[in-house]
């Protein structure tokens, strides 16, 4: 399928989604959100894809929601409709049974920052800038910024960013734990692919269960989370890859995983 606002490519078991609204700094319009959701559904149903990279351009990952569109919102009902769509797409990323890596170059602000928060891992270029500046125009983040950000960087730092609308450069984002790695801008996609390839070599069912255990457990009381982790662990003993992995370890050879 041809898309107007995103580019989707697949190779080496990696699906790469590139936001493609260069004239609007990759701002998140309804059209982009719908197309992104369509690509995610395609990836959901494609067993050949094990890892996803979500990227923007060198200067703009995504500079927020489309202000032209947001400016047309006149009442809470319209606001609810837009946020319901945005939250649904970001939740789709978070709930995808495959790891998603955000390759962040340039600005990731407002909804663009929230989009990175829904991903599993974040690699940023040296020129990356993160922020939730919604307070400066009289609103708050509505697609996860007040919820995911405190869970990632801690409540105190998140409140500072949310109350002031200040930006974070790549170094500060790394210090707070928002991103996994800082790389030169010229090698951002190369480094993202390197990490994706490393992950793609792991057994697929174990990858799926790892993400389920972490994300599911975060919303549970610790003893319930431990029980959930145990169920995920136990289920893997029904897979061929578990038997292959342990057999290879005992035999001191490289495992040949089949993702089943």
Residues catalogued as catalytic: 114, 134
Inter-CA distances, 183 with 25, 115, 126, 168, Å: 21, 20, 6, 16
Cα maximum dimension of the chain: 66
Task: Work out whether strand 51-55 and strand 121-125 pair parallel, antiparallel, or are unpaired.
Answer: unpaired
CA 116 to chain centre: 5
**Nearest-5° Cα angle at 83, 77 to 86:** 150
Q: Is 46:8 a contact under the CB 8 Å cutoff?
A: no
What distance in Å separates the CA atoms of residue 126 and residue 147, rounded to the nearest whole number? 26
In 3-state terms, what secondary structure has residue 19?
strand
What distance in Å separates the CA atoms of residue 63 and residue 165, rounded to the nearest whole number? 14
Half-sphere exposure of 28 (CA within 13 A, CB side): 27
């Amino acid at each position: 399928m041809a898309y107007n606002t995103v580019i989707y490519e697949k190779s080496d078991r990696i699906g790469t989604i590139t936001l493609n609204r260069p004239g609007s700094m990759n701002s998140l319009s309804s059209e982009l959100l719908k197309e992104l959701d369509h690509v995610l559904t395609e990836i959901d149903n494609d067993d050949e894809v094990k890892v996803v990279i979500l990227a923007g351009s060198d200067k703009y990952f995504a500079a927020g929601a489309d202000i032209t569109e947001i400016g047309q919102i006149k009442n809470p009902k319209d606001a609810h409709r837009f946020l319901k769509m945005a939250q649904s797409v970001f939740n789709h990323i978070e709930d995808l049974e495959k790891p998603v890596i955000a390759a962040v170059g340039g600005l990731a602000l407002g909804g663009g920052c929230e989009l990175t928060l829904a991903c599993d891992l974040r690699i940023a270029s040296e020129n990356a800038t993160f922020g939730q500046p919604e307070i400066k125009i009289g609103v708050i983040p509505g697609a996860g910024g007040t919820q995911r950000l405190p869970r990632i960087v801690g409540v105190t730092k998140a409140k500072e960013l949310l109350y002031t609308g200040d930006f974070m450069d790549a170094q500060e984002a790394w210090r707070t734990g928002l991103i996994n790695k800082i790389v030169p801008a010229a090698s951002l996609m190369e480094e993202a692919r390197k990490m994706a390839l490393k992950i793609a070599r792991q057994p697929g069912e174990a990858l799926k269960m790892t993400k389920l255990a972490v994300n599911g457990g975060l919303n549970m009381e610790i003893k319930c989370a431990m029980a959930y982790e145990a169920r995920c662990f136990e289920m893997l003993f029904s897979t061929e890859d578990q038997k292959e992995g342990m057999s290879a370890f005992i035999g001191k050879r490289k495992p040949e995983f089949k993702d089943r």
